[in-house]
Structure 1
Amino acid sequence: MIRSLRVRLMLAAAVLAVLFMLALLPALQKAFSLALQESIEQRLASDVTTLISSARIEHGQLRMPALLPDEQYNLPESGLMGYVFDRQGTLVWRSRATSASAINYQPRYDGRGNEFARIRQADGEEFFVYDVEVKLLGGKSAAYSIVALQPVREYHNTLDGLREKLYLGFGAALLALLMLLWAGLTWGLRSLRHLSRELDQVESGTREGLSREHPSELLRLTGSLNRLLHSEREQRQRYRDSLDDLAHSLKTPLTVLQGVSESLGQTPDEREQARVLQSQIERMSQQIDYQLQRASLRKSGLVRHQVEVRPLLDSLCSTLAKVYRDKHVHVSLDIPAQAQVPMEQGALLELLGNLLENAYRLCLEQVRVSLRQSSGQVELCVEDDGLGVPVEQRQRILQRGERLDAQHPGQGIGLAVVKDIVDSYDAQLSLDDSALGGAAFRIVFSRD
């Protein structure tokens, strides 16, 4: 499927231009043919006029001069073929150019005056004939048919030459027309390319909206997109502000409850109740943090970001190395220089932070992070040499909407946040065995 609008329009215009010229070509050929036949008729009429002006009637007999005014009639090889027939159709005179030709022609002396026709001989050769009936010659009564002929092959030769030139002219005209169409389409679609560049800038986050420097036909579209962008930003901000307000309003009573639970514990029953209360308070706090992270790290509808991976990994690994300094974790980074991932920086930081924190916590001594790029995808993989995840548990813990921290105590909400972030960016998350011996979390992003 052709995805370029300019190429589509160019192909449509080219097809229409070719069809138009193919329809026009026969009409032009017909016009040339009629014009050429009219020219031949006029020339033959002129030849007949020359013969009439030279003819004389003496003693009731036709007399033609030995040398005609038109010198071409006096040359055998000139091709000027002239005949004079009497009323009975008997040939009474012929030009020298007809001495080598035996033309089978019988004039019609029927009172019509003149006739332009086309005749065919027994050998297949054709001639144009101009036949004029004459009743007066030099003021004297006469009854003759004066005829001029021209071979049709000369007409065909001329027409073939014209047709060849017509084809060449049409080909050159079509090529020039296609070049002009391409230039016109390029200029006409310049505004769409400008709009596309502005959309790229909006997606990359370098500008907030589209300008109004576009043709009037596109202003409604750009206005709608600007309203959508503005509405999206406001809605996301309101959503985050509302969640922040909710979290703040819940954190205070949770803190009070936390303090109350810590003050309990005078008797064994109170200590058990305090432990249950602290457990539930901690769980509620985790769920509040989880929902806040879900809301703040989701992908924007129109804006697309590209974040360089290596600096974030260096910062995260440096921090985690201090947290897990007793394990002496060895981390290998297989990341191409300046490799980027199509995510917002905050989302990528949270995603890598959770995956690396799990890898550091569950590994024995090795963690590996790799990135592979292709024309349409980016694959990010975080591996460790720990115990891994049982095969029967993988599908369930990666199932959309599952509360991973509830199913696997000790893992917190990290993988739940990772799954939500991956889903919001239309990426794919999979869990496999690592060559290091533990788990391998693979995330595949599409560049489209």
Structure 2
Amino acid sequence: RISHELRTPLTIMTGFVSTLLTHDAEFGPDDRKAMLERTRAAIGRLSALIDELLTAASFEAGMAEAVVIDVDVAPILEAIKAEAVDPERVRVNCPPGVHARADPKLLKQALHLLVDNAMKYGGNAELTVRPGEITVRDHGPGVPSELGDRVFDRFVRGTTSKPGMGLGLPLVRSLCAAMDATVGLESPADGGACFRIRFSS
């Protein structure tokens, strides 16, 4: 599965670059732009996959260490929205002045992974901040009841119909643990999935 996830963006990049090199004169500016944008998206996906693998390996080897400070979460959430593949599909509910005890870099990476997961399976992501916690909610099919907290185990996925290696949620759990925070899964009555990060006081 890992080799497949790494090869897929490489195949996309190779295909478009080869097409442009071989048949460039046959395409107009709009077609070339579309292929280059698809190539850039594939590069971004490959980079994210590599980052996930390297981060997971660092934590497993005991090489990564969190620096927990008092963090203003609003700028982090706004950055996550701005950097999303489609920012219009990300909603942020964050009152001003809310802080959390966290490592800013690890918190951003954990939320990035949760937002990416929500958009992949639910179409949209809603981030809500309350004192001591952040939730990331989607309105997709939800997580099968038989999986439960096993979604935080490596290589376990709710569905194989979407791309992924099953590393995102386990990495979120590792990132939260490093910050002395916890993450849990909830299944709202009206559908979808909700991941709740709770911070230490």
Which of residues 368, 371, 393 is equivalent to 2:126? 368
State how far apart, in whole Å, the 1-side matches of 2:54 and 2:125 are: 30
Matched residue, 1:438: 192
Percent identity over the alignment is: 26
Matched residue, 2:29: none
State how far apart, in whole Å, the 2-side matches of 1:345 and 1:293 are: 17
Q: Alignment RMSD, CA only?
A: 2.8
State how far apart, in whole Å, the 2-side matches of 1:384 and 1:393 are: 17
Whether the 8 Å CA contact 1:297–1:347 is kept in 2: the answer is no
Larger Rg: 1
State how far apart, in whole Å, the 2-side matches of 1:296 and 1:384 are: 33
Matched residue, 1:167: none
Aligned length: 149
Which of residues 299, 305, 317 is equivalent to 2:66? 299
Whether the 8 Å CA contact 2:106–2:175 is kept in 1: the answer is yes
SS, match of residue 313 in structure 1: helix
Q: 1:171-210 counterparts in 2 under 5 A? A: none
Matched residue, 2:38: none
2:181 is aligned with 1:427 = yes
Q: 1:56-95 counterparts in 2 under 5 A? A: none
- Which stretches in structure 2 are left out of the alignment for 5+ residues? 1-9, 15-48
State how far apart, in whole Å, the 2-side matches of 1:391 and 1:298 are: 34
Matched residue, 1:196: none
2:109 is aligned with 1:350 = yes
Task: Compute the TM-score of the two structures, normalised by the length of structure 1.
Answer: 0.30
2:68 is aligned with 1:309 = no
Q: 1:293 to 1:324 in 2, by over 3 A?
A: farther
SS, match of residue 442 in structure 1: strand
Q: 1:428 to 1:293 in 2, by over 3 A?
A: closer
State how far apart, in whole Å, the 2-side matches of 1:438 and 1:383 are: 7
How far residue 318 of structure 1 moved from its aligned partner, in angstroms, is 1.3
How far residue 296 of structure 1 moved from its aligned partner, in angstroms, is 6.3
Whether the 8 Å CA contact 1:332–1:368 is kept in 2: the answer is yes
- Spell out, residue by residue over 1:18-74, the C-alpha distance to the aligned partner (whole angstroms, 9 max, x if none): xxxxxxxxxxxxxxxxxxxxxxxxxxxxxxxxxxxxxxxxxxxxxxxxxxxxxxxxx
| Greater RCO structure (CA 8 Å; 6+ sep) | 2
Whether the 8 Å CA contact 1:351–1:421 is kept in 2: the answer is yes
Q: 1:308 to 1:436 in 2, by over 3 A?
A: farther
How far residue 435 of structure 1 moved from its aligned partner, in angstroms, is 5.8
Which of residues 340, 346, 351 is equivalent to 2:99? 340
- Which stretches in structure 1 are left out of the alignment for 5+ residues? 1-257, 263-283
Q: 1:446 to 1:420 in 2, by over 3 A?
A: same
Q: 1:289 to 1:445 in 2, by over 3 A?
A: closer
Letter in structure 2 aligned against 1:356: V
